[in-house]
Amino acid sequence: MLTFLDHIPDGLLSCSASGLQAILPGPTLIQLPGRRPRPLFVSVLLHGNETTGLAAIQSLLDKYRDKQLPRELCIFIGNVTAAAQGKRHLDGQPDYNRVWPCTGFADECAGNTEEHRMMRQIVDHMHQRDVFASIDVHNNTGLNPHYGCINKLDNRFFHLATQFSRTVVYFIRPTGVQSMAFADICPAVTVECGKPDQPHGAAHAADFINSCLSLAEIPAHDIASHDMDLFHTVATVSVPEHIRIFFDGDDDRRVPSRDEIHFRPDLDHLNFHELDADITLGYVHPQLNTLPLQVIDEQGNAVAARYFRVHDGKLHTTREVMPSMFTLDETVIRQDCLGYLMERMPVKEDE
C-alpha cells in the first residue's frame, strides 16, 4: 500500500490536506537528496485531521525550491484518505499512530493489518538507510503548549526535543506510536504543535525541521537542567462508554443523572498546570460512589482511585498531578482518550 517517490510531485507544495488524494495514490514516502547523507525522517498526517505537518513540509520545501537540502530528507505522508475527509482515521482503518512496530511490548503490538506491515516496512527501510533522526508532527485539540514527546531517556533525545521546545514529555504508553518505533534506531521525537490551522504551529514545526536538517550531529553530552522541563506521562484517562459527557459543569446546575459527567467547561485550561489535591474537575450525581473515569497506568493497571474521588456530587483530584491533552472534543475522547496525567521528572546532570 506504500508508494515510494524520489521527487516532489506536481501540486504537492500548494495543495490542502483534503486535496492530497488527487496527487498521491495513498500513503507515500518521498525521498529527497541533500548535501549530507543519513536522512532525516519526518512523518506527517499520521492523523488525517492534523494538518500542521503538511503545512510545515510545504513551507520548508518551498524555501529550498532552488537550493540543495542540507541533508537527505525522507517524508512520510500518512493517512491520505482520512485527510480527504478531515478525520483522524476512517471507520474500518486503524489509527496510523498505533500500528508501528514496538519491541518489548510484543503482546500489545501483535497486530498484522496491512498498515502494521507498511509501518514495519518503513522502519526497516529507514534503518537500512542509517536514518539520522526522526520527527513525527502532530496537533491536538485541547489547549496545550507546543511540546515534544520522547520514548527514551537519553541525552540525544533530550537535545533533539529541546530544539523544538523546553517542555518535553516522556511516555511509554500508548504503544505502537511512530516515535517509539524509531527510538530503537535513532533519536526520535513527536512534536505537538497545538491546534491545526494555526499558522504559528506550522512555522514553528518548519523552523524545527529546518534546524534538524542543518545539524551535523546530535550531541550526546548532558543537557543543562535549566534548559528542559521534563515530564513523565504516568496514566491515560478515559471516560467509560456508558457515561454521557457534558462540559457545562458548575455549582448551581441541575443534579446530573447517574450516567452523566458534567466536566468544568475550562477543563483543557488545566493542561500543563500542576494541580493540587482537591481540585474539582466535574459534577456527578450526588449519590454516585463509583468513579466515572477509567485511569490506566503504564503497567496497564486500573488506578483511577489513586488520582480521583467522587464526593458529594463532585469529581476531585486526590493528589498533586498535571494533566496534558485534556480535550473538550467528544469524538477524540471516544476514539482515543480524555487525556493524560503527568508527573515532573528531575533532569540529572553530571556536576
Distance of closest approach, residue 181 Cβ to Zn ion, in angstroms? 15
Residue at 148: amino acid letter: G
Distance of closest approach, residue 138 Cβ to Zn ion, in angstroms? 4
- Neighbouring-strand partners of residue 74: 31, 41
Scanning residues 116 to 155, which ones bind Zn ion (CB under 5 A)? 138
Of residues 150 and 310, the one with the C-beta less far from Zn ion: 150
| Region from 48-56, 59-67, 229-237, 336-344 binding Zn ion, contact rule CB under 5 A | 48-56
What's the angle, vertex CA 80, arms to CA 75 and CA 86, rounded to 5?
Answer: 120
| Pairing relationship of beta strands 314-317 and 308-311 according to DSSP bridges | antiparallel
Q: Which residue shows C-alpha cell 525541521?
A: 209
Of residues 31 and 165, the one with the C-beta less far from Zn ion: 165
Of residues 56 and 69, the one with the C-beta less far from Zn ion: 56
* Residue pair 324/231 in contact by the 8 Å Cβ criterion: yes
List of residues 6+ apart from 106 with CB closer than 8 A: none
Scanning residues 238 to 277, which ones bind Zn ion (CB under 5 A)? none
Of residues 169 and 223, the one with the C-beta less far from Zn ion: 169
What is the secondary structure of 98-117 as a DSSP string?
A: S-S--TT-TTTT---SHHHH
Distance CA 44, CA 221 (A): 29
Please select the residue that binds Zn ion; options are 47, 156, 159, 173, rule is CB under 5 A: 47
* Residue pair 235/339 in contact by the 8 Å Cβ criterion: no
Distance CA 170, CA 152 (A): 7
Distance of closest approach, residue 139 Cβ to Zn ion, in angstroms? 6
Of residues 237 and 281, the one with the C-beta less far from Zn ion: 237
| Region from 4-12, 46-54, 328-336, 339-347 binding Zn ion, contact rule CB under 5 A | 46-54
Of residues 50 and 229, the one with the C-beta less far from Zn ion: 50
| Region from 50-58, 114-122, 205-213, 303-311 binding Zn ion, contact rule CB under 5 A | 50-58
Q: How many residues bind Zn ion (CB under 5 A)?
A: 3
Distance CA 204, CA 227 (A): 18
* Residue pair 191/97 in contact by the 8 Å Cβ criterion: no
Distance of closest approach, residue 89 Cβ to Zn ion, in angstroms? 10
Scanning residues 165 to 224, which ones bind Zn ion (CB under 5 A)? none
Asked if 89 is part of the footprint of Zn ion (rule: CB under 5 A), the reply reads no
| Region from 41-49, 79-87, 166-174, 264-272 binding Zn ion, contact rule CB under 5 A | 41-49
Distance CA 46, CA 224 (A): 33
Of residues 222 and 329, the one with the C-beta less far from Zn ion: 329
C-alpha cell of residue 223: 543537557
Q: Where do contacts with Zn ion occur on this chain (CB under 5 A)? A: 47, 50, 138
